[in-house]
């Protein structure tokens, strides 16, 4: 009986607040999940270093604003550029040399890149948490009735949707996008057909990392404590979000992000005793999806045709 | 050519290994040096706390560099705020570096992880700020310089009650032994004061969590008079920030882990007015040692020292005092001497260790005002 106390006693205002929290968290996961899914969709590789690229972007923002005192609008542009470059560099150093190697090698290289970034950050910036710079315009509180929203929580879903639309446009309606789709269908033939594989793949990572940077900025404003391991849990959860929605499918990643974000919040909302287990929710959903629909909700059902 | 390369590589490796081994054996038994191990989290979630304690120990080593005519050498080991690492790091300090006493750790979970090895290897350890009673209970080789959580929990419960709170919510970092222990002691003490229904909710979160909006929204609906939220400083600062953003105005109460600069820098204006218990403050610093400590600390590090540095300094003093009274470098004799520590003058007052190895000490209550920690009150042991 007590188990359902939370469910029965919740007021409308509380529920609405929970929904707002859930959508805010969900769109944050969605933004980062898009980066994961994009790289997988084009290259059929899971970039485990994606979460750590988010972490590095947060540190870039910290340095830009708090140390060098560059105004935030310039710093954010700088952060996106710097992170995109970081993504391209990692691709060049850790993934390109293994392009013709079996898929496992590049996966392990990604894990290695992830550890490298984490420990580099630990060494350079020390393990002590730093505060992501506060941007009063975005972190101010807005009250709608009795529901409190941070300005950034309204911005995040908007940015997520815009990023989604821009990305879909690039992939479906531009020449570069067409080349990306060609590479994902069959990379050898694409090369033979005259597509510059190196450039296309670098472009993919640049776009993916730019998205990671945007996600990082949103994340940092919402949750200001930066540590070298900040990318681990979100990286894991956003990867799960991408898998839930169908890895390789951009719309699926957004769907997965929202499912995970809303689910996490509502589980704790309705069953407060389970608040210590909220992370387990993501992993349980992953197991269920892998059992019953391994290609994800919006994923294509691929069967090997002999 | 390839074969030559591999032979060369293997020989280089072999030479490296052999010289490595030789080195430690050579200088392990220098008789004019006594080694004290420093076992702290210098990276990871608890790094800020560990850093502050390292400062205290280094300062103490600077002001008291010798005992029994031997130079005190600090062997610093990082347990990475990780329970699994902690056990092996402590073992390494004992077996490889052959320290006589261990100082540390910040974090009850980390200290408890090392508990077994110090007991079986018979090397005394002095905890710096680990307040969970289980660190020293049933362990003759673990002592500590700080008060314990049953006392700390009661102090905060009394403070809450005295300031008018009759319904409180508890938000605990469930993966942290310190937080869970302290929450329980607070709960027991508060229920004794305000009745069995006075603790209206106990919510949990994990170390490293960033989003507390769900539990806070639930708690907001219950409208508590105060919220007791023991936990690591980063998570606590984010928690309080999000609570204020959601419109929760109830005062937040916590424990000694909040006294780090990061709590204020991450928490910003939102942590103004919180109250927490801690072991030391300039206002209550009456001993001669305390004045020396304060002067040196301000000279070396600028800024006010936190209780963590003061406690670590005292842990070093307890160790030195023990070695002096044992008049020997045998760890078992040192342990016996430490166990009889009585009225030892330290920074946080006069330390007497009871039969569990815990000091009988009062607590200071502090708040955050204008971006700085400020003293409110002192609660002595009855």
What tens digit of pLDDT does each residue of B302-320 get?
888 889 999 999 999 999 9
Residue A29 lies in a domain: yes
Q: Which of B201, B206, B266 sits opposite A224 (nearest CB)?
A: B266
- In eight-state DSSP terms, residue A129 is -
* Cα-to-chain-centroid distance, residue A146: 31
Contacts of A9 in chain B (CB under 8 A): 221
d(CA A134, CA B270): 12
Contacts of A264 in chain B (CB under 8 A): 211, 214
pLDDT for B185: 95
Fold of B150-278: Rossmann fold (3.40.50)
Residue A301 lies in a domain: no
- Extents of the domains making up chain B: 33-147+285-362, 150-278
Verify whether the Cβ–Cβ distance B262 to A128 is below 8 Å.
yes
Contacts of A127 in chain B (CB under 8 A): 42-45, 47, 81
Residues of chain A with pLDDT under 70: 1-9, 301-306
d(CA B160, CA B168): 9
User: What mean pLDDT do residues B190-216 have?
Assistant: 91
Verify whether the Cβ–Cβ distance B174 to A25 is below 8 Å.
no
A-B interface: how many C-beta pairs under 8 angstroms?
106
d(CA A26, CA A23): 5
**Average pLDDT of chain B to the nearest whole number:** 89
Verify whether the Cβ–Cβ distance B201 to A272 is below 8 Å.
yes
Q: Are B363 and B147 in contact (CB under 8 A)?
A: yes
Cα of A186 to nearest chain B Cα, Å: 38
Contacts of A89 (CB under 8 A, 6+ apart): none
Verify whether the Cβ–Cβ distance A17 to B205 is below 8 Å.
no
- In eight-state DSSP terms, residue B232 is -
Verify whether the Cβ–Cβ distance B221 to A129 is below 8 Å.
no
Interface membership of A75 toward B (CB under 8 Å): no
- Give the CA diameter of chain B: 83
Q: Is A31 exposed, middle or buried (0-12, 13-18, 19+ CB in 10 A)?
A: buried
d(CA A181, CA A41): 8
Mutation for testing the B interface, residue in A127, A149, A257, A270 having most B CBs under 10 Å = A127
Interface membership of A223 toward B (CB under 8 Å): yes
Q: Which of A14, A225, A276 sits opposite B217 (nearest CB)?
A: A14
> Which residue is listed with tokens 């008018």?
B164
B285: confidence class by pLDDT, cuts 50, 70, 90: confident
Residue A306 lies in a domain: no
Do the domains spanning B33-147+285-362 and B150-278 agree at the CATH topology level? yes
Cα of B221 to nearest chain A Cα, Å: 7
Contacts of A138 in chain B (CB under 8 A): none
Contacts of B221 in chain A (CB under 8 A): 9-11, 13-14
Cα of B174 to nearest chain A Cα, Å: 7
Contacts of B45 in chain A (CB under 8 A): 127, 227
- Give the CA diameter of chain A: 67
pLDDT in tens, B80-121: 888 989 999 999 999 999 999 999 899 899 999 999 999 999
Verify whether the Cβ–Cβ distance A131 to B265 is below 8 Å.
yes
* Cα-to-chain-centroid distance, residue B49: 7
Verify whether the Cβ–Cβ distance B221 to A11 is below 8 Å.
yes
Contacts of A165 (CB under 8 A, 6+ apart): none
Helix axes A250-270, A278-292, angle to 10 degrees: 130
pLDDT in tens, B240-271: 999 998 889 999 999 999 998 889 988 889 99
Verify whether the Cβ–Cβ distance B245 to A279 is below 8 Å.
no
Show the domain range for A33. 7-292
Q: What is the DSSP string of B163-230?
A: TT--SEEEEEETT-HHHHHHHHHHHHHHHHHH-TT-EEEEEEE-TT----HHHHHHHHHH--SEEE--
d(CA B130, CA A301): 54
Contacts of A148 in chain B (CB under 8 A): 245-247
Residue A2 lies in a domain: no
Contacts of B44 in chain A (CB under 8 A): 127
Verify whether the Cβ–Cβ distance A18 to B217 is below 8 Å.
yes
Verify whether the Cβ–Cβ distance B203 to A272 is below 8 Å.
yes
Residue A298 lies in a domain: no
Contacts of B238 in chain A (CB under 8 A): 223-225
CA nearest to A221, candidates A109, A47, A62, A15:
A62
**Could you give the strand order of the β-sheet that contains B66-67, starting from the edge strand earlier in sequence?**
B66-67, B70-78, B33-40, B101-103, B125-127, B142-144
Question: Does residue B23 carry a pLDDT above 60?
Answer: no
Residue A103 lies in a domain: yes
d(CA B34, CA B68): 9
Residue A304 lies in a domain: no
Q: Which of A128, A134, A264 sits opposite B48 (nearest CB)?
A: A128
Q: Which of A21, A129, A141 sits opposite B213 (nearest CB)?
A: A21
Q: Are B92 and B115 in contact (CB under 8 A)?
A: no
Verify whether the Cβ–Cβ distance B174 to A122 is below 8 Å.
no
How many domains does one find in chain A? 1
Q: Which CATH number fits domain B33-147+285-362: 3.20.20.210, 3.40.50.2300, 1.10.150.120, 3.30.540.10?
A: 3.40.50.2300
B1: confidence class by pLDDT, cuts 50, 70, 90: low
CB environment B122-161: b (16+ within 10 A), e (fewer): ebbbbbbbbbbbbbbeebbbbbbbbbbbbbbbbbbbebbb
Closest-CA residue of B relative to A140 is: B245
Verify whether the Cβ–Cβ distance A279 to B213 is below 8 Å.
no
Q: Are A17 and B217 in contact (CB under 8 A)?
A: yes
Q: Which of B221, B234, B245 sits opposite A148 (nearest CB)?
A: B245
CATH code for the domain of A221: 1.10.3470
Cα of B353 to nearest chain A Cα, Å: 33
Verify whether the Cβ–Cβ distance A128 to B47 is below 8 Å.
yes
Residue A288 lies in a domain: yes
Cα of A203 to nearest chain B Cα, Å: 32
Report the DSSP beta bridge partners of residue B168.
B199, B226
d(CA B325, CA B148): 26
């Amino acid at each position: 009986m007590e188990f359902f106390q939370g469910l029965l006693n919740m007021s409308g205002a509380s529920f609405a607040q929970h929904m707002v929290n859930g959508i805010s968290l969900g769109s944050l996961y969605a933004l980062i999940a898009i980066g994961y899914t994009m790289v997988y969709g084009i290259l059929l590789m899971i970039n485990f270093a994606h979460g750590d690229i988010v972490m590095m972007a947060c540190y870039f923002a910290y340095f830009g604003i708090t140390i060098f005192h560059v105004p935030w609008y310039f710093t954010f542009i700088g952060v996106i550029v710097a992170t995109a470059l970081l993504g391209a560099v990692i691709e060049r150093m850790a993934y390109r040399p293994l392009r013709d190697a079996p898929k496992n090698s590049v996966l392990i290289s990604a894990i290695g890149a992830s550890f490298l970034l984490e420990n580099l950050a630990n060494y350079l910036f020390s393990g002590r948490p730093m505060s992501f710079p506060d941007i009063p315009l975005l972190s101010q509180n807005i009250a709608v009735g009795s529901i409190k929203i941070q300005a950034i929580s309204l911005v995040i879903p908007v940015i997520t949707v815009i990023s989604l639309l821009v990305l879909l446009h690039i992939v479906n309606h531009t020449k570069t996008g067409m080349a990306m789709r060609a590479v994902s269908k069959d990379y050898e033939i694409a090369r033979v057909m005259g597509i510059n594989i190196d450039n296309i793949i670098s472009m993919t990572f640049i776009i993916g990392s730019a998205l990671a940077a945007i996600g990082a900025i949103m994340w940092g404003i919402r949750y200001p404590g930066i540590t070298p391991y900040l990318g681990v849990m979100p990286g894991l959860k956003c990867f799960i979000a991408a898998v839930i929605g169908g890895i390789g499918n951009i719309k699926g990643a957004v769907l997965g992000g929202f499912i995970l974000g809303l689910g996490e919040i509502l589980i704790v909302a309705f069953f407060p005793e389970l608040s210590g287990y909220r992370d387990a929710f993501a992993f349980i959903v992953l197991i269920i999806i892998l059992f019953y629909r391994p290609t994800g909700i919006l994923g294509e059902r691929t069967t090997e045709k002999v | 050519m390839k074969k030559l390369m591999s032979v060369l590589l293997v020989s280089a490796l072999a030479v490296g290994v052999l010289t490595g081994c030789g080195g430690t054996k050579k200088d392990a038994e220098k008789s004019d040096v006594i080694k004290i191990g420093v076992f702290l989290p210098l990276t990871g979630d608890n790094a800020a706390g560990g850093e502050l304690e390292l400062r205290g120990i280094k300062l103490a080593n600077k002001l008291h560099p010798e005992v029994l005519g031997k130079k005190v050498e600090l062997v610093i080991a990082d347990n990475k705020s990780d329970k699994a690492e902690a056990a092996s790091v402590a073992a390494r300090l004992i077996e490889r570096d052959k320290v006589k006493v261990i100082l540390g750790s910040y974090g009850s979970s980390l200290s408890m992880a090392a508990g077994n090895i110090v007991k079986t290897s018979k090397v005394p350890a002095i905890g710096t700020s680990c307040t969970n009673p289980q660190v020293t209970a049933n362990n003759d080789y673990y002592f500590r310089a700080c008060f314990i959580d049953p006392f700390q929990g009661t102090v905060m419960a009394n403070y809450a009650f005295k300031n008018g709170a009759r319904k409180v919510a508890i938000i605990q970092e469930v993966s942290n032994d310190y937080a869970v222990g302290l929450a329980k002691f607070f709960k027991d003490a508060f229920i004794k004061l305000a009745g069995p229904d006075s603790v209206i909710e106990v919510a949990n979160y994990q170390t490293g969590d960033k989003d507390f909006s769900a539990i806070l929204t639930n708690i907001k609906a219950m409208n508590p008079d105060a919220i007791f939220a023991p936990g690591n400083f980063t998570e606590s600062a984010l928690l309080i920030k999000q609570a204020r953003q959601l419109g929760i105005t109830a005062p937040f109460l916590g424990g000694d882990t909040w006294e780090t600069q990061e709590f204020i820098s991450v928490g910003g204006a939102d942590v103004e007015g919180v109250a927490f218990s801690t072991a030391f403050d300039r206002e209550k610093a009456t001993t001669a040692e305390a004045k020396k400590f304060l002067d040196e600390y301000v000279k070396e590090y600028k800024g006010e020292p936190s209780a963590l540095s003061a406690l670590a300094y005292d842990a070093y003093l307890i160790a030195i005092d023990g070695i002096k009274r044992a008049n020997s470098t045998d760890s078992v004799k040192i342990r016996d001497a430490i166990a009889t520590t009585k009225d030892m003058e330290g920074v946080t007052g006069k330390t007497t260790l009871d039969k569990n190895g815990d000091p009988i000490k009062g607590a200071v209550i502090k708040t955050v005002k204008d971006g700085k920690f400020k003293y409110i009150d002192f609660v002595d042991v009855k």
